[in-house]
Structure 1
Amino acid sequence: MLNWQKLPELVTVAPEQPLAPLEPQNWLLQMVPLQLNCNDCSIGNYRLGKVQLLAAADGAEWQLQRFTTDYKGSKFNITGVWQPDSALGKSQFNGTFYSPNIGALLAEYQLSSAISGSRSDIGFHLNWPGAPQQFQLSELNGKVQFALGDGSLTEVSDQGARLFSLFSLDSLVRKLRLDFRDVFSKGFFYNKMAGTLTLHQGVAQTSDVSIDGVPGNLSIQGYADLVKRQMDYQMSFAPKVTSSLPVIIAWMVNPATGLAALALDEVFQSAEVISRIQYPSPVVSINPW
């Protein structure tokens, strides 16, 4: 049992540096059982909190039976296996990640400041040829499903769409709670965000990312090439401009009329009567590292 442990920061290989040919790692099949319990661990500047690890080999395969972290309520859980074959074998890992505030966690890790707030639930199934330590982005395959709670994209300019939130039924609830962040703060506030990423040889594709935003609904489809650091995507935005104000006025005049207005308002939004704005994007290069 370790009460505190700080490991040196991992050294990454520059993308332009050629990698040595991979070799089978059959020594993993004879690896002794490994068990770790640490109350406060970190790797470099990344705090992991409480860590538990259990791994063992049985002569036929190497298994990661448990790897969990718990830091400020953010919980990471992963299991996996490496199975040998006539070549490099195959690594497969399944896991979940939960955080009560993924925006704060990413900011603390200095990984991103684009998301503010947001509870997160993420599940993933990943695999690649070779042993676990032979991971390469160009060989990464699998699926990632994610769902985020209310928060904001703090580095997004909505080009005036924030004005629409004044007339949004969802926004009205926040106004009653004296929460005016969606009007006066920089960013795109949303109630939820969800989607699925399918990975094949380092390319992440999606066709179902949806954002239930305060000013409107945003859908995204396209791909991101993690190896070439390029992305090509299309966004579709449907502003919520039919909501709240007509309903409130009708309710003040006549409650029955207000109910009818509310019903029509929901029909309009469901049918997307308001024009949907398309944002096609050419292939662009990104450099998040």
Structure 2
Amino acid sequence: MQDWQLTRLQLSTPEASFSANGHWAVQARASALPSDPRAPRPADDPRRTLLHFKLDIRDAGALLARFDMPGVLARGQGHLDGSLGWTGSPFSPHYPSMQGQLKLDVGAGQFLKADPGVAKLLGVLSLQSLPRRLTLDFRDVFSSGFAFDHVRGDVVVQRGIASTNNLQMKGVNAGVLMEGSADLDQETQDLRVLVVPEIDAGTAALAATVISPAIGIGAFIAQLVLKQPLIKAATREFHIGGSWDNPQVRRVGQADRGAGQDTGAAVPSTAPAAVNQEDKP
């Protein structure tokens, strides 16, 4: 077996700069390995790719357009850094074996109205499924594309499941807090989303606060939001399950909480995209 070391890789475009280092453990005889990168890997497959990287973003929208994903995002400047490893070569990422961590911090941009089949994971973040599925009292916040001051959070990847407990987006009219997971291989999601319309200085401060991954959204909400009746009354909570291109949205209302449901608990991704009459705004 050989071990290829990548000591330094740098790529630069007008939209972004990418730097990385890592290594690739290469099996001497790989003829028996499956040709399909999504197929299961043998248990004794010693091939392993590990990559540490940093992406400095000058224009996220233009960068996505360069990778044949136009009309998904406008503007956006910041960085994405972390490390990822998987079984197999650097040229065929194997999602079921993937693990690592990521940190995202991008400011001043806007999610655009895009086909769900384009940049599917970004479609999850854009929350366009909310106005498609529900009649909301803040429809104008998302339906024309959510404009944000920042999108930031930490993500942990284990066996192809990307999880976060502190992803937040700050917009002009609302703040969004998100926790849950996304299956990178199956392209499904299981997310808890809280939308806090900006109605006073308290909600503005809430949306601008950096949430530590050690605390998470659940504890943050319990400590800050629920102690302030005005913020509590304005906050809307949703569960988003199903596939990335056909998300299933369910409003989590006061009736659910009154029945003793733990709103932080996972809801099956098969939850129906329906809203009870008493849950409507």
TM-score (norm 1): 0.57
Aligned-partner SS, 2:230? coil
Q: Radius of gyration: which is bigger?
A: 1
Bigger relative contact order (CA 8 A; separation at least 6): 2
- Looking at structure 1, the residues matched to 110 and 139 of structure 2 have their Cα atoms a distance apart, in angstroms, of 12
For 1:194-229, what per-residue CA distance to the aligned partner results, in whole angstroms no more than 9, with x for missing partners? 011111111111111001111111011111111112
User: Does the 8 Å CA contact 1:240/1:269 hold for their aligned counterparts?
Assistant: no
**1:242, 1:268 within 8 Å by CA — same for their partners in 2?**
no
- Equivalences for 1:1-289 in 2 at 5 Å? 26=1, 29=2, 61-83=3-25, 87-111=45-69, 113-133=71-91, 135-155=93-113, 156=128, 159=136, 161=138, 186-242=144-200, 271=228, 273-274=230-231, 275=233, 276-286=235-245
User: Is the Cα–Cα contact under 8 Å of residues 143 and 199 in structure 1 kept in the other structure?
Assistant: yes
In structure 2, do the counterparts of structure 1 residues 272 and 211 end up closer, same or farther at CA, with 3 Å as the change threshold?
farther
SS across alignment from 2:68: coil
Map of 1:58 onto structure 2: none
Q: What's the RMSD between the two structures over aligned residues?
A: 3.1
- The offset of 1:87, in angstroms, is 4.6
- Distance in structure 2 (CA, Å) of the matches to 1:143 and 1:64: 19
- Give the whole-Å Cα distance in 2 for the aligned partners of 1:222 and 1:212: 18
TM superposition shift of 1:139: 1.1
Aligned equivalent of 2:218? none
In the alignment, the residues of structure 2 paired with residue 123 and residue 272 of structure 1 have an alpha-carbon distance, to the nearest angstrom, of 37
Superimposed CA distance per residue, residues 65-101 of structure 1 (whole angstroms, 9 cap, x where no aligned partner):
1111111041011101124697514321100001111
Looking at structure 2, the residues matched to 235 and 112 of structure 1 have their Cα atoms a distance apart, in angstroms, of 26
Percent identity reads 20
| Unpaired runs of at least 5, structure 2 | 28-43, 114-127, 203-223, 247-281
1:130–1:110 Cα change, 3 Å: closer
Shift in Å, 1:113: 2.9
What is the TM-score when the length of structure 2 is the normalising length?
A: 0.58
Partner amino acid for 2:147?
F
1:111-152 alpha-carbon deviations (Å, 9 max, x no partner): 253321110200021112344345311111101110011111
In the comparison of the two structures, how many residue pairs are matched? Answer: 188
Q: What is the identity, as a one-letter code, of the residue corresponding to 2:138? A: A
What is the SS of the residue equivalent to 2:62? helix
SS at match of 2:241: coil
CA gap of 1:205–1:163, structure 2 versus 1, over 3 A, is closer
